[in-house]
Amino acid sequence: MEPITKFELSQEFHDRFQRALNEHDKKFISSSLEEVNPADITTLLYEFNSEESKYVLDMLSVATRAQIINDLDTETRKSFLSIYSATELSEIINQLESDDAADILNELPIKTSEEIIGNLDSDLKSQVIDLLRYDEHVAGGLMAKELIRVRATWTVVECIDEIRKQAETVGKFYTAWVVDEKDKLLGMVPLQKLIISDPKTLVKDICEDDVMPVETYMEEREVAEIMRKYDLESVPVVNVQGQLVGRITIDDVVDVISDQAEEERQLMSGITEDVEEDDTLLKNVRARLPWLLIGIFGGMLSARFMGFFEHELTKITAIAFFVPLIQATGGNVGIQSSGLVVQSLANPGYLEEGMAQRLMKVFYVALLNALLLSLIVLASTSLFFNNNRLSVVVSFALFCVVMFSSFVGTITPILINRLGFNPALASGPFITTASDLLGLTIYFLTVHVLL
């Protein structure tokens, strides 16, 4: 057994593969994909168009095909699946577990998905119909219906028989869930405990009852946090009656965490669409334009605003020299403050109560930074520019800018969060644009009053 050699998609192989596709060289294609892990074939598909990808997939077994389609990201899958017929899709979706099947059905046009549901195997059909009721981003939308369900009154042998029966449909599992005759969750038995117990032991004697079920409507973020915090590899999902309705495994949660990180990065970068560099030109432009336009609008406002102070500017041109300094500092302070708040908000142990106390803390940090920075600026401006009065004005304005930007940077993500949006929105161009305008206003008001 060799350590994994990662499948490297070289430009050379890419070109060779493209040629094989153009020439419909089935032999080359199937021989080069032999032994390749389906997850690597997925990567390959991102490089080719839908028709080419379908041509490749049709050469593989339906199980592999299903796994690859399941691995694709939502955007790619949506456009890719549009060239499949409902019959082809039914065959593929029949291979999946209920949660993955429901996810894909959710992405398809209602008409197509209704047709597919009609064609599904009866077990999967009822499971999928049940899952489609839930919003994608709550526990109910994340869970799979397939699980090993055992009774507290059974013996270990009976359990193992049941597991043997269910093993076909359930896929990977590490736990048997213990329920009563009304399907109410009582606890769980890890497989490792089942394996080392005497066959005649009763389930209730080895059942662990300190499990942490989540309810169907819990936000996926919270589910992820609970699983991370308590180191759980799977959690049972119960309905309001406490009945076991599904389970969520840690690999689903890994995806939730990765997706959140990506969403946050996009918000912080001022990208408004889920876009990648190799998406179309138009999509790239569209994802970038909104924040650029807002920035331009802010810039035009600044220009108008500075127009009111034309008189002062004509008198002392040097006033203009310090606009970048004021704005850059305002922007940096704003981003730092909001970044810290976004981090606290991501931490569910976060206390909304201590608001007054934490604003005081922010105030002191800002005060110390503001004092230090304005002293440095006072010293260096009076050293390099020959206008002591202006030096005082600039450093005083800088002091105010640091104080205000700290406050705005702290309060904005909290407000955005309360309004139900992702607070990371406040950590990107939003806060820079706001800080720019704020900084400029403070600076020119100071100039107007003090100079």
Q: Using CB under 8 A, which of 122, 182, 307, 419 touches its own copies?
A: 307
DSSP for residue 385: S
Does 173 help bind its own copies (rule: CB under 8 A)?
A: yes
DSSP for residue 6: P
CB of 13 to its own copies, least distance (A): 11
Q: Which residue from 385, 374, 401 is spatially nearest to 319, judged by alpha carbons?
A: 385
Q: Using CB under 8 A, which of 26, 114, 157, 354 touches its own copies?
A: 354
Q: Is the separation of the CB atoms in 130 and 145 below 8 Å?
A: yes
Does 86 help bind its own copies (rule: CB under 8 A)?
A: no
| Nearer to its own copies (CB atom), residue 160 or residue 392 | 160
Q: Using CB under 8 A, which of 288, 382, 411, 451 touches its own copies?
A: 288
Question: What is the pattern of x (binds its own copies, CB under 8 A) and - over residues 48-77?
Answer: ------------------------------
Where does this chain touch its own copies (CB under 8 A) — which range of 57-65, 85-93, 119-127, 321-329?
Answer: 321-329
Q: Using CB under 8 A, which of 59, 83, 300, 375 touches its own copies?
A: 300
CB of 405 to its own copies, least distance (A): 11
Where does this chain touch its own copies (CB under 8 A) — which range of 22-30, 107-115, 127-135, 182-190?
Answer: 182-190
SS (H, E, C) 74-142: HHHHHHHHCCCCHHHHHHHHCCCCHHHHHHHHHHCCHHHHHHHHHHCCHHHHHHHHHHCCCCCCEHHHH
The one-letter amino acid code at 62 reads: V
CA distances from 435 to 161, 184, 415, 432 (A): 66, 54, 16, 5
How far apart, in whole angstroms, are the C-alpha atoms of residue 169 and residue 344? 42
Element (H, E) at 230: none
How far apart, in whole angstroms, are the C-alpha atoms of residue 140 and residue 339? 31
Where does this chain touch its own copies (CB under 8 A) — which range of 23-31, 102-110, 120-128, 314-322?
Answer: 314-322
| Nearer to its own copies (CB atom), residue 277 or residue 449 | 277
Structural tokens at position 247: 């389970």
Binders in 141-160 for its own copies, by CB under 8 A = 160
Structural tokens at position 436: 């720019």
- First-last CA distance in the chain: 78
CB of 390 to its own copies, least distance (A): 10
Residues 6+ apart with CB under 8 A from 424: 263, 264, 267, 268, 342, 413
Secondary structure (DSSP) of 166-188: HHHHH-S-SEEEEE-TT-BEEEE
Q: Which residues of 15-45 are buried (b: 16+ CB within 10 A; e: fewer)?
A: eebeebbeeeeeeebeeebeeeebeebbebb
Q: Using CB under 8 A, which of 24, 34, 182, 349 touches its own copies?
A: 349
CB of 275 to its own copies, least distance (A): 7
Backbone torsions φ then ψ of 173, nearest 5 degrees: -155, 155
How far apart, in whole angstroms, are the C-alpha atoms of residue 217 and residue 103? 17
Q: Using CB under 8 A, which of 147, 429, 442, 444 touches its own copies?
A: 429
Q: Using CB under 8 A, which of 289, 375, 445, 450 touches its own copies?
A: 289
How far apart, in whole angstroms, are the C-alpha atoms of residue 406 and residue 200? 66
CB of 106 to its own copies, least distance (A): 20
Binders in 407-426 for its own copies, by CB under 8 A = none
Q: Using CB under 8 A, which of 33, 86, 152, 306 touches its own copies?
A: 306
| Nearer to its own copies (CB atom), residue 108 or residue 253 | 253
| Nearer to its own copies (CB atom), residue 6 or residue 111 | 6
| Nearer to its own copies (CB atom), residue 173 or residue 396 | 173
Question: What is the pattern of x (binds its own copies, CB under 8 A) and - over residues 205-234?
Answer: ----x-xxxxx----------xxxxxx-x-
Q: Using CB under 8 A, which of 59, 63, 368, 375 touches its own copies?
A: 368
Does 196 help bind its own copies (rule: CB under 8 A)?
A: yes
| Nearer to its own copies (CB atom), residue 119 or residue 344 | 344
How far apart, in whole angstroms, are the C-alpha atoms of residue 185 and residue 447? 69
Judged by CB under 8 A, how many residues of this single chain contact its own copies? 138
CB of 204 to its own copies, least distance (A): 13
| Nearer to its own copies (CB atom), residue 141 or residue 413 | 413
| Nearer to its own copies (CB atom), residue 83 or residue 254 | 254
How far apart, in whole angstroms, are the C-alpha atoms of residue 309 and residue 305? 8
Binders in 247-276 for its own copies, by CB under 8 A = 249-251, 253-255, 257-258, 260-262, 264-266, 268-271, 275-276
Q: Using CB under 8 A, which of 60, 129, 202, 323 touches its own copies?
A: 323
